[in-house]
Amino acid sequence: MRNLIFRLIVFTLIPVIACTSAPETAEIPESTDGLCQLWIDAWNARDAVAIEACFANDALLITDTVYSGIDAIRSGFIERATPYFQNLTCSKLYESISGSMAYHAGKYDHEWIVNDSTVEKASGYYTMVWKKSDDNTWKLAVFQTN
């Protein structure tokens, strides 16, 4: 039962989980596509360090559970989900960019490795709120998924 609950949380949370590294500058992007692609690439590479690099230190990750702060996000979600996640795709439905904030919402699909012979597919919706950080990069302030 605990494994099922964990998988349900991950299925609803993982859409968007991929970032090889944070963007180099905090210039206002013309689109959130590049930020989202960092997230996708990190998750598909199963790169926990790159995924964590996407988040601000005070970020919120909201699924069935709310993870507040990078330490809770790392231990409660990233470390537990990374080994089982693959083939994330995201389709943007909405974005808005203004000053130091950028919003990106869409639909995701991915696969979850249950065991050596079983892979399950999951899909849902997500919202990302990116903010310009003190180190002049864009970081996830809020990531929410259903």
Residues contacting residue 25 through CB under 8 Å, at least 6 positions apart: 136, 137
pTM summary value? 0.76
Whole-number Å distance between alpha carbons of 22 and 123: 25
Lowest-confidence segment of 9-18, 35-44, 102-111 by average pLDDT: 9-18
Q: Which CATH number fits domain 2-145: 3.10.450.50, 3.40.50.150, 3.40.50.720, 3.30.360.10?
A: 3.10.450.50
- Going from the C-alpha of 6 to that of each of 9, 114, 141, the distances in angstroms are 5, 11, 23
More confident: 134 or 56: 56
- At residue 15 the predicted structure's pLDDT band, cuts being 50, 70 and 90, is very low
Q: Is there a contact between 144 and 127 (Cβ–Cβ < 8 Å)? A: yes
Chain centre to alpha carbon of residue 10: 11
Q: What is the pLDDT of residues 84-142, one digit of tens each?
A: 989 999 999 999 999 899 999 999 999 999 888 899 999 999 999 999 988 889 999 99
Type of residue numbered 119: V
Q: Where are the domains of the chain?
A: 2-145
pLDDT at 32: 87
